[in-house]
Amino acid sequence: MTKYNSIFRDNLFQDRTILVTGGGTGIGRAISHELASLGAHIIIASRKLEKLEATAKEITDAGGKCSIYTLNIRNEDAINAMFDEMLNDHKTIHGLVNNAGGQFPSPAENINQKGWHAVIETNLTGTFLMSKTAYNRALKQNQGNIVNIVAEMWNGFPGMVHTGAARAGVSNMTKTLAVEWAKDGVRVNAVAPGVIHGHGITQYDPAFVESYVKMASADIPLKRMGTESEIASAVTFLLSPAAAYITGETLKVDGASSLWRKTWVIDNHQNSAKFDGFED
Ligand code: ADE
């Protein structure tokens, strides 16, 4: 049985219902386990039913409450239909964790319009549509709050330009929504994970992962990758009353990698055109 040991106090989220997108795997699964272990009724939504079922079983076997809905966050009609069903079943939600996302590594010059749009639609548009729907249909009625999962994109995101642009957009959107929705007591924050050793990394080509992990860990001041639980506990803090005065913030959980790590090797070259306005 999968048991989750949270650092937070028991029943912190008693009588709270929290929707976690992409909650069936990886960081989303850890967030779902952690919040359920603290008494929340967790609703996980994503595209793949088998993954949802497996995580829901883990949570309920451990004594937690978990419901599942299949959902494509890129489609506003599907989101509204899912909310119809979910609110009929559970009345309201008190929190939303926008964790669902996806991207693929590629040099920018090889990404076509379809690939670019797919990543922007999932990570940026999907997060906006989910936030707006949750706010209008539940959160503004009960001072709920939102946590968005973004990424380490502070120096751009060489190798994944699409997700860097989308996640930076979400971090900016987090500030806007925090201000616009403050009137209803709805807080909106984000967590920016650094390099996490977990399910996410297994999605990529093993050769890419091996070189990436070696390069990344060496340059992280804490000299290791983070865990999914270290992201889950930051999300839990931001959702909790302990963060009642925090809104519009993106919290880095990255072992200081964003202050130090080089993510891209620049080959030696002499291709920089120079400007010199002086005539000898
Ligand atoms: N996880 C990755 N992409 C997703 C999508 N479009 N909808 C829901 N969950 C997802």
47 CB near ligand 1 (under 6 Å): yes
Residue showing tokens 């909106």: 188
The count of C-alpha atoms lying within 13 angstroms of the C-alpha of 55, restricted to the half-sphere facing its C-beta, is 29
What ranges do the domains of the chain cover?
Answer: 17-253
Residues in the chain: 280
- pLDDT single digits (tens) 1-22: 888 999 999 999 999 999 999 9
- The pTM is what? 0.95
Correct CATH for 17-253 of 3.10.580.10, 3.40.50.1820, 3.40.50.300, 3.40.50.720: 3.40.50.720
Q: What mean pLDDT do residues 145-169 have?
A: 98
Residue 207 pLDDT class (50, 70, 90 cuts): confident
102 CB near ligand 1 (under 6 Å): yes
122 CB near ligand 1 (under 6 Å): yes
46 CB near ligand 1 (under 6 Å): yes
74 CB near ligand 1 (under 6 Å): yes
- pLDDT single digits (tens) 94-124: 999 999 999 999 999 999 999 999 999 999 9
The closest residue, in CA terms, to atom 1 on ligand 1 is 100
Q: What mean pLDDT do residues 141-156 have?
A: 98
User: From the CA of 46, how far away is ligand 1's center (Å)?
Assistant: 5
- pLDDT single digits (tens) 254-269: 999 999 988 898 999 9
Instruction: Supply the pLDDT for residue 131.
Output: 99
Across the chain, what does the average pLDDT equal? 95
Residue 204 vs residue 160, higher pLDDT: 160
Token pair listed for 160: 């994944």
24 CB near ligand 1 (under 6 Å): no
User: From the CA of 230, how far away is ligand 1's center (Å)?
Assistant: 22
- pLDDT single digits (tens) 19-66: 999 999 999 999 999 999 999 999 999 999 999 999 999 999 999 999
User: From the CA of 187, how far away is ligand 1's center (Å)?
Assistant: 23
Ligand 1 atom nearest to CA at 74 = 6
User: From the CA of 52, how far away is ligand 1's center (Å)?
Assistant: 12
Ligand 1 atom nearest to CA at 101 = 2
72 CB near ligand 1 (under 6 Å): yes
Instruction: Supply the pLDDT for residue 1.
Output: 84
- pLDDT single digits (tens) 242-256: 999 999 999 999 999
Ligand 1 atom nearest to CA at 72 = 7
User: From the CA of 101, how far away is ligand 1's center (Å)?
Assistant: 6
Instruction: Supply the pLDDT for residue 200.
Output: 65
Contacts of 134 (CB under 8 A, 6+ apart): 19, 83, 93, 96, 144, 146
The closest residue, in CA terms, to atom 9 on ligand 1 is 46
